[in-house]
Structure 1
Amino acid sequence: MDTLSRDSSSSSNVLPLVGVIAGALGLILAIVALVKLSTLQKTVAAHDLEIPKIVTIEGDLRAATAKSETDLRGLREGVQNALTQVGTEIGTLRAQITKVEEAQKAKAAAPAGKGGAAAPTGVLNADGTYTIGSGDTFAKIARKFAVKMDAIEAENPGLDPTKLRVGQKIRIPKK
């Protein structure tokens, strides 16, 4: 029995040692946990200060978004109104162009006696002279009386064909 009693006394000495080691280990882990908890509390406190700022920023962002949407809606309406106005104006211009084209076609369909150019507006006098009217040129007068421009120039020496005046008299050559 001697061996048994010696074994039991040595194991009774180890047990308190294991308890002290376990207690020290528990104390160390508690200190580490306390440090971590303190750090975590500081972080949470810092975040608590930032949360109102985040809420304010979020409110500002929502207000800016609402204003942007309103501005965009107004811009779309403005562009649509401008495009509608441009379309209406184009339609009006097309109608005016059509009227002008129809008027030109009507003039082209008029009697061909004029040869496409306006007839001289002057007057042939009884003495064989011609009184220049508005818009008259030697070419128009020559065409009207079926003579050549050179013949009119020869019949009226010293007369500059580019300086004709309304009311001026010139001689028309005989055919």
Structure 2
Amino acid sequence: MILTETRIAGVFIVDLAPLADERGHFARSYCADVFIRHGIHFAPVQCNLSFNPQQGTLRGLHYQAAPVPDAKLVRCSRGAIFDVAVDLRADSPTQGEWIGVVLDATRGRALFVPEGCAHGFQTLKPDSEVFYMMGAAYRADLARGLRWNDPAFGIDWPDPTPRLNARDAAWPDHGA
């Protein structure tokens, strides 16, 4: 695995380092030791799978509030997505900034989103599937979100007219 930190501290792009032979290839998609060497203490406790039949579907921006914030490792296992992390940490020099990365099933790239960051994605292909490893179990009472097109963030989504569910369409702006 190759971890590359982005301009937002704690947000990492995780690339596979496949070993190929006549059978195909093999690659580690997560290794606690590699994460620890990069200063990431991530112990997955829950895995989630999101299937999205329509291109342009947008999910997010989601996060889990204290006292049980969640970190996540997000990988597109089928199709392709534009994956976004938004820094919400009050003490961060990049508070309010976002990073967007294309994740697809072909490359196997993942995005690590630390606690204190909101997460969302938009599908770039139909029938896209997203696999999340979560650092905390989901707690409905702590589930929070922010509006996908909040002008405070200015996220440049690939499709400006996404398919949204009612909950994601109704999240407030940051600071509202």
Higher share in strand: 2
TM-score w.r.t. length of structure 1: 0.21
